[in-house]
Amino acid sequence: MWHTMTSEEIRKKLKTNFEYGLTEQEAKKRQKDYGENKLEKKKKTNIFVKFIKQFQDFMIIVLLIAAVISAVMSYLEGTGEYIDSIIIVTIVFFNAIMGLIQENKAEKALEALAELSAPVAKVKRNGKVKEVMSTKLVPGDIIQLETGCFVPADCRILTATTLEIEESALTGETIPVTKEPIDMTNNKAQTGDISNMAFATTIITKGHGQAVVCDIGMNTKVGKIAKLILSDESPDTPLQKKLGEVGKKLGIVALGICIIIFIIGILKKIQWVQMFMTSVGLAVAAIPEGLPAIVTILLSIGVTKMAKKKSIIRKLPAVETLGSSQVICSDKTGTLTQNKMKVMVLNDASGNISNKTTNTNRFLLELATLCNDSTLQKEAGKWQVLGEPTENAIINAAVENKIYKMELEEKFPRNFEIPFESSRKLMTTIHKLDNGYRIITKGAPDILIKRCEKYYYNGKTEIMDTYKTNQIQLTNQKLAEKAMRLIAVAYLDVMQLPSKITSEQIEKNLVFVRANWND
């Protein structure tokens, strides 16, 4: 268990150097031993095999046998009546083609989702940090962890600066987990409780750090999940079971009746060829050849409706299973939600709630954008925000109002910061002005308001009295009752900074401004 080992034990076991990393020669040697750092994919089934599998249903097999026998007998008799056989075969093939098309569409969508991974990683080789393809990582590599990046492999944290990682893909918990280079002794700790490890496919929302790769590819936590998926075969759906039962019963009953009618005809000294054709006709008539086609069409309609709602259904019968569900048990986690937040309302210090950007609210967004660790970048003509969900929501709201973080940081460069701490429930940054400094603090409203002696409104600052404090707290309470997540913002412009910058020294006598964010 990597998380229960000390750093020194890991260094010896992996035969690595935390300061210089591995040499290129050693990395190449290990890659031959361990293979590439990637997840195995289930072998693709040949399209012909997929098509043949569409005919596995018992009812369809009976229909095909009946169609073949009917055609053969028509040929032997020289009647040329192949209409029944053609209709049966057409329906069966239509059913198979519909199922094959839908399955291929779903698989392509799933393949696109599978491509979401960390393409490159920053690794220390020969004492120098370089970018390599994440597939080339090996156990013992020393990698850099940075905000906005995916963790490329399971690794043990060596150093961390306010490092937080979102692990909802593995644990379902939406709240990022704080990671620290500490020793743990609990060898039964669950994934979500292991704070000294970072796991592949999770994303770094805040801070930075350094880690040593312990497991790669299919040996990672997500790799073990992939193994279960690769080895697991889906059970038959309720619809498949019912259709299978109906098909078998109809087939057995029809076959039994056909045999009885054939025997009776032979006893009555009717020509066996005539009786055989009569029996085959009864078999074809007894089996509802239109049923497979009707079921396929209805399920396809259901799949199409689900696709419009962004839900991918791989197998057609699964739609019926979902529709038959009466109770769905779930908890509110990132596995069932997008794990995204959005600014819903802005609330200034005078209690005016609005979703429009007034002068006061624009100033509020600028402050919240500066006091923020999320990064903003443009990719393929679209703005991409990377970081912690709450802070991402602020940056997105700013972009919607044409406020861009990089422009603000050029104008007001960050000189110092005091990271967010759960004990303080606050985060503070200090920015350079032309003639001084601006201190910006954001965090829990009930905590921040106690550190403010003034409030900002419409370009002016006024004294924060008891009435104003109560008014703000009442507004907070009303919004909190609507399940909104509240973030308060305050600032202070000063000519000089204290010789020792601490939260006690600079998070006081602030000017209160406020925004409310919805989960």
Give, as one character, the DSSP assignment of residue 57: S
Q: Are 384 and 149 in contact (CB under 8 A)?
A: no
Q: Are 433 and 440 in contact (CB under 8 A)?
A: no
CB atoms < 10 A from the CB of 459, how many?
Answer: 8
HEC-encoded secondary structure of 336-387: CCCCCCEEEEEECCCCCEECCCCHHHHHHHHHHHHCCCCEEEEECCEEEEEC
Closest Cα to residue 194, out of 177, 219, 175? 177
What CA–CA distance (Å, rounded) separates 288 from 460?
Answer: 80
Q: Are 123 and 129 in contact (CB under 8 A)?
A: yes
441's enclosing H/E stretch is: strand 436-443
What SS3 state is found at 250? helix
Closest Cα to residue 454, out of 507, 496, 484, 490? 490
331 catalytic residue (yes or no): yes
Q: Are 489 and 515 in contact (CB under 8 A)?
A: yes
Closest Cα to residue 209, out of 18, 441, 11? 18
Residue among 331, 373, 446, 519 flagged as catalytic: 331
HEC-encoded secondary structure of 475-503: HHHHHHCCCEEEEEEEEEEECCCCCCCCH
CB atoms < 10 A from the CB of 412, how many?
Answer: 20
Structure-block tokens of residue 402? 């044409």
What CA–CA distance (Å, rounded) separates 159 from 208?
Answer: 8
Catalogue the active-site residues: 331
